[in-house]
Amino acid sequence: MKYIRLIILSIVVFFALACIVSFFIPSRIRVFRMTSIAKGRDSILNQVRDISQWKNWYPGFDKIELTEQQVVDGRVVKARAKDIIVDIKESSDSTVIVHMQRGSRPVKCGWQINNNNRNDSLALQTYMDFDLKWYPWEKFSSLMLDKGYGERMQEGLANLKNR
């Protein structure tokens, strides 16, 4: 009986410590990547604005069939890719913002092109914003988001740069 109380008390203390530590991890995580590209803002953003073109540069989209497509001005702006809904929420001459949603959790993705003042090129930036709940296991798992998504984002930027 003494060992059972010790085990239960240890579990409660460990959970309490995990909750306290997790409160220091932010609820919004941004994974960010950037690369320099040659002039050609329109050609790059046209690849991003049209979800049907993502098969040419976004890692993994070349093997996925798009369903439930919504077309506006000749571009696919909303579609389902397997169990993920991809929806272009905003598109301007320098920014494209996309919401990807699997289940009830949307992830905000963005691509932005800025002039690079150091040389005669453009800076292409991409990011993914994740909103996390307070659960300790969710906040601790967020520490792996950069490793998991960052490499895929860098590969996508390289593919866009090469196109």
In three-state form (DSSP H/G/I as H, E/B as E, the rest C), the secondary structure along the chain is CHHHHHHHHHHHHHHHHHHHHHCCCCCEEEEEEEEEECCCHHHHHHHHHCHHHHHHCCCCHHHCCEEEEEEECCEEEEEEECCEEEEEEEECCCEEEEEEEECCEEEEEEEEEEEECCCCEEEEEEEEEEECCCCHHHHHHHHHHHHHHHHHHHHHHHHHHHC
Q: CA separation (Å) from 122 to 2, 115, 127, 144? A: 67, 5, 16, 29
Distance CA 38, CA 22 (A): 42
Q: Which class is domain 26-162?
A: alpha beta
Contact 41, 133 (CB under 8 A): no
- Give me the residues paired with residue 25 across strands: none
Instruction: Tell me phi and psi for residue 102, to 5 degrees.
Output: -120, 115
- Give me the residues paired with residue 41 across strands: none
pLDDT score recorded for residue 118 = 67
Q: Is the pTM of this model over 0.85?
A: no
Cβ-based neighbour number of residue 139 at 10 Å: 21
pLDDT score recorded for residue 97 = 92
pLDDT score recorded for residue 41 = 57
pLDDT score recorded for residue 117 = 67
pLDDT score recorded for residue 66 = 84
pLDDT score recorded for residue 98 = 92
- What averages of pLDDT result for each successive group of 10 residues across the chain (163 residues)? 85 87 83 80 77 86 84 86 87 88 85 76 86 82 81 86 77
Q: Domain spans of the chain?
A: 26-162
